[in-house]
A and B are shown apart, each in its own frame.
Chain A
């Protein structure tokens, strides 16, 4: 009896506060906007019994989803989120791999410190880490000051409020998620394999591409998913660093809800976003499972 309580309590909690809310989102995505409180209709009226339920169900339709396909704002936002996430993931890999590689080759007694230095930013506020870049990238920001002072540029660069700033923000905030799995893969790498490749006549570069990189692939895959998946629905980075031209679906959903107060459309946007995310999440799960089986 007591044993079942141990899982029943968290199970029921998640059922009520994670699963049921999704059903509500789905239901509201089939409703219509209304000038009422709450601002959507139909409302379920149980006092009329079965007839009430039937009337309620007949009012639900997929109109909002049709609307998402007809208004180009939405599909452009989905595509643009995917593109930004893809480019940002690639850039994070480009920045993160050499760091992870350097960490894996550092002397043993340095590694715990280096590892802590990578994890530490994760404990500091995400919002503050994004905010820090607003002062750096602005028109009169520190970066422009330095570049103007050194004479590398004569006109200040406009980086803040562009997609470039969003890329920098994503790379900066998600870098630990990329470094850690790659480091874990590289650290387990058997050094004698590389020595063997070099003995057999490989140059250092070709030994890297033929031996080291393929063996670190699981870490690279895991890191890429860990950056890619949350970036698609990102809200804080595009709204602080991005400009009016930066289209990301998280921002669209937010504005649809808070500015337009169109809850049914916001819910439909959420349902479609969830459907898009399921594909990479399943791939990620498969990758993790394969990894766990390979370790066992």
Chain B
């Protein structure tokens, strides 16, 4: 590639400034002393203190975390199974309908998914609460997991599984001993994606949650509708911080495993030479 032109440098700088400055402002103003969010009145961490004492927010955060944990875990199991069925099973009855149902929720407007699930829960007489939230979130999250896992399964050398079967493994053993370790990174990132999607969801949760199961996004949305508030700024900063830390840890881990793999390969090369 040729050198970056001035135009490239300017568009990259402006582009990344556009992506990051709004969040940076949010973080800075969460440490603002003043109740007026747009006027800087000195450094203070008092909004974090107020947040820690706000029982409603803490309750909502606990509901959200539990829902995200259960739905992303079930979604990972179901999504991995779905991906395996789509990529490995070849043709089977209802395959087109199946793959359609995997991809459709990804492009479905959330208002429609939320409305349809709510009408289902009412039709079968299921009271809205944590359970309905988990069912709803599992359904759209499993589709994302299945897309992530199937992209890994496509590039996976199937002869490894066949070799395990030839050496006497049952189908379940070859999956557990050969396939799973290889697709594990994709399964983990699928789980993480499902977890963040569930944490983040406002629209589907608004339709499917009951009065006793208000989630954090619902709480944030109803208070944000009235305008900008320093408490929400503090809460946003905590959430942005968690994501940033998570991403840094993940990138360090991939870097280390890359380094280890490179070292292993170098050692294998040396072993072959001698």
- Interface residues of A, Cβ cutoff 8 Å to B: 2-4, 6-7, 9-11, 13-15, 17-22, 24-25, 28, 38, 95, 98-99, 101-108, 114, 116-118, 120-121, 123-129, 131-136, 138, 140-142, 145, 172, 175, 191, 229-230, 232-236, 239-240, 250, 253-254, 257-258, 263, 266-267, 270, 273-274, 277, 281, 284
Contact = CB atoms under 8 A, between A and B. Distances in A.
Interface string B68-102: 00000000001101101110010010100010011
A102 B142 CA distance: 35
Nearest to B79: A10
Contacts of B115: 25, 253, 257, 266-267, 270
A105 B1 contact: yes
Given A132-B23, A270-B111, A21 B117 contact: yes
Contact of A233 (B112, B120, B221, B224): B112
B126 to A, nearest CB: 11
Contact of B98 (A11, A98, A103): A11
Nearest to B104: A18
B38 A138 contact: yes
Q: Of residues A125, A140, A236, which shows the largest number of chain B Cβ atoms within 10 Å of its Cβ? A: A125
Contact of B22 (A9, A129, A233): A129
A208 to B, nearest CB: 10
B109 interface: yes
Given A253-B111, A254-B111, A134 B228 contact: yes
Main secondary structure of the interface of B (DSSP, over half): helix
Given A2-B172, A6-B81, A102-B4, A127 B119 contact: no
Interface size class of B (residues with CB under 8 A): 35 or more
Contact of B171 (A2, A124, A145): A2
Interface in B220-244: 220-221, 224-225, 227-228, 232-233, 236, 239-240, 243-244
Contacts of B7: 98, 102
Centre residue among B4, B84, B115, B123 by max chain A CB count within 10 A: B115
Given A17-B139, A138-B228, A257-B115, 5 more contacts: A9-B78, A17-B135, A123-B243, A235-B111, A273-B112
A281 to B, nearest CB: 6
A118 B236 contact: no
B200 interface: yes
Nearest to B11: A98
A10 B80 CA distance: 9
Given A123-B243, A235-B110, A7 B8 contact: no
9 interchain residue pairs of minimum CB distance: A233-B109, A7-B85, A21-B116, A98-B11, A99-B15, A10-B82, A102-B8, A132-B22, A102-B12
Contacts of A128: 23, 26, 220, 236, 239-240
